[in-house]
Structure 1
Amino acid sequence: MASSDPVSWARDARAALAGAVAFWFPVACAGCGALDVDLCDGCRAALAPRLRRRVLLPGVEVVSALEFDGVAARVIRALKAEGRTGLATALAPALAAALAAASPEGATITTVPSSRAAVRRRGYRPVDLLARRAGARPRPLLRVGRAAADQRGLDRAARRANVAGAFVARSPTAGRVIVIDDVLTTGATLVEAVGVLRAAGAHEVIAVTLAYTPGRGGSSRESEVIAT
């Protein structure tokens, strides 16, 4: 017999709906594809931070938490391209470790802004979501000044030309600033963001990314592993 208690009825209805959704649209681990789990224990363990610090240009330093490969790459792509926002919670500890290693005392935290088209397509801003899940309270110091083309397939020089003038400071910025992005490839986007923040008045800007692409974004001579 169905319960006459409205609270119990609502709980039972939610459980039935969840069961139906799980039957018709089974969830799979974003890292390995195992069924009935968003992220299995093994893939979650693969997201433990392995911090790396590198210099993109003189005076432009970036700290990254994960190598963008294997499990980490698949989970980040699922967050960004498949709308699986719950994965931000599993990725957040790695980003928090990078922030802790990079953040000067009292630094203002901001993020590289998403384009309007990307926000409309996804309905959320992945970098802002990651930052908040990592315990940061980012301030919107930058906005998109002009739309840049898709960076995929472009070499380092073409990427820098593509993002030149892409960002604008919202207001004068003072003091130390941490700017967060999701994945470091050649560093073109971050170099542009750092330049705009400095021009707006920030006297020190450090970049932090959740992940870095192996073999890109700086040579081994320019990088160092940070003990965790």
Structure 2
Amino acid sequence: MRGWWREIAGLVLPVDCAGCGRPRTELCERCRGLLGGASSVRRVRPTPEPAGLPPVYATGRYSDEVRAVLLAHKERGALGLARPLGTALAAAVRPLGVAGTVLLVPVPSARRAVARRGHDATARMTRAAAVALRRSGTPARAVPLLRQRRAVADQSGLDATGRLANLSGAVEAVGGCAALLAAAQVVLVDDLMTTGTSLSVAARAVAVAGGRVAGAAVVAGPDGPEIHPVGHRRR
């Protein structure tokens, strides 16, 4: 119900750009461009790189504006941002070159965080990405195949080691998904990659359930030398 009222309010009330604050537009053209597109897709790698991390592609860098857009969608319920964020995610999926049906699987959020926010931001972006892919001719489905099996701590203040300890054994595939996993390849989806721990743990959960992870798509990755353009060989 809360999400419904937010969507209605976004239609009738004046808003400012979620990225830069420009008045009377939910997302200005400049900030929309910072989210990236096909020409800005890059493979991103954290340092150090956790074991089992699949290839990860991002369209944006974690700049002030991109960070503000992601937080506006996730924490402030700016639900209209799901569509441009989903478009960015779709662009990050395409370099993976998955043939056939693509299963877009969101990295699961903690239940208490979803309850506090009133919506599941990652799942919402994932659905928007699937729509964008289908419009361009790629058969894609957004399927929440993963869940957290126990409570985890807030990741924001943890380093890579702490995040791994926090998430180890915390993510599992839902029951009855074996046939679905056998018929398609999985692309994991998240809004942001920092240490890569969440994606590597999610990939392991898919593998344990008998699936194959072709890669992962995120809106933004860490800025700096660990970001490589598509096709660039890391030395």
TM-score normalised by structure 1 residue count: 0.79
Name the % identity.
38
Decide whether the 8 Å contact of 2:89 with 2:218 is kept in 1.
yes
Structure 2 residue 109 is the aligned partner of structure 1 residue 114 = yes
Decide whether the 8 Å contact of 2:53 with 2:196 is kept in 1.
no
TM-score normalised by structure 2 residue count: 0.77
Which SS does the other structure have where 1:129 is aligned?
A: helix
| Unmatched segments (≥5 aa) in structure 1 | 1-16
1:42-121 correspondence to structure 2 within 5 Å: 42-49=30-37, 50-54=40-44, 56=49, 57=51, 60-106=54-100, 107-121=102-116
Select the structure of larger CA radius of gyration. 1
Decide whether the 8 Å contact of 2:96 with 2:214 is kept in 1.
no
CA distance, structure 1, for counterparts of residue 73 and residue 44 of structure 2: 25
1:1-228 correspondence to structure 2 within 5 Å: 22=13, 26-49=14-37, 50-54=40-44, 56=49, 57=51, 60-106=54-100, 107-134=102-129, 135=131, 136-171=140-175, 172=178, 173-174=181-182, 176-215=185-224, 220=226, 224-226=228-230
Deviation sequence 1:182-220 (CA, Å, 0-9, x none): 1101011111000111111113441221211325xxx73
Alignment correspondent of 2:134: none
Decide whether the 8 Å contact of 1:181 with 1:209 is kept in 2.
yes
CA distance, structure 2, for counterparts of residue 113 and residue 58 of structure 1: 18
Root-mean-square deviation (CA), in Å?
A: 2.3
Count, aligned residues: 201
CA distance, structure 1, for counterparts of residue 153 and residue 141 of structure 2: 29
| Unmatched segments (≥5 aa) in structure 2 | 1-7, 132-139
Decide whether the 8 Å contact of 1:103 with 1:178 is kept in 2.
no
